[in-house]
Amino acid sequence: MCFWEDDGQDDVDAHLDRGGPNRGSLWQARANYLRFGACEEVAKQHVRGPLLDEPEARQWSLLDDVAVERIPSSNVSAWNLLHDGTVAGIERSSDGRVSVIVDIPYLRTRFAVPGTAFRLELFDCSRLEFTPYDRAATSSLDEIAQAEADILEARNEESSVVVWGSTGVLKVRYQDLSLRFDDGAPLAHAALEECARTYWDEWARGAARLQHGKKKEEDAP
């Protein structure tokens, strides 16, 4: 349909140019398909539109000329993957999109591209409110960023995404969410999920070794 040959490349390594039968990265091919309907310009004569029995499983759009995956607000897993991250900045665009910069070095530095944060792009964002546990609620983007709200758990409540932290509660209402690196490059949800899973698996193994070491010390004569 798009003339990209399935070579095993997927979301986790979509940013890499692996060579082989395809040219460029999978992310570049996705952006090209959104622009002109093919993975690259020279392949336009070989493509066709989707058939009726080929429904679109995921939603994509161009953002700053980059292909991004649109994740509906009913899916809050992206927020929960950023556990212990801190809201370091918030930007509002003229199109109603809000960019939330989440500083989370323990995950971000595991990617090859330098940086310490991810960007959550919130499309059609109509509510962004932070309520500190010791003060009144605020919708000021500057005040929310200055509060350095952290992310512990996110849930859907009353048509909003509610993000609970150690200093307060962030309530957000939006249509879709996209993930990007802090430099604007696209990030697949699957790549972030794999990164977080690997980190917490390593953390659990380290904690188990520490506990085992303590038990050996306690049992020593």
What does the pLDDT profile of the chain (221 residues) look like in tens digits? Answer: 465 556 666 666 666 666 666 666 776 777 676 666 676 666 666 666 666 665 566 677 778 878 888 899 999 999 999 999 999 999 999 888 999 999 999 999 999 889 999 999 999 999 999 999 999 999 999 999 999 999 999 999 989 999 999 999 999 999 999 999 999 988 989 899 999 999 999 999 998 888 767 666 666 56
Tell me how many domains the chain contains.
2
Statement to judge: residues 79 and 49 lie in one domain: no
Q: Which residue has the tokens 């649109």?
A: 70
**pTM score of the predicted model:** 0.79
Rounded alpha-carbon distances, angstroms, from residue 103 to 17, 86, 88, 177, 179? 27, 5, 6, 17, 13
Do 165 and 83 sit in the same domain of this protein?
yes
Per the structure, the complete domain to which residue 30 belongs is given by: 1-57
111 and 17 in one domain? no
163 and 81 within one domain: yes
Q: Are residues 45 and 98 in the same domain?
A: no
Question: Both 80 and 182 in a single domain?
Answer: yes
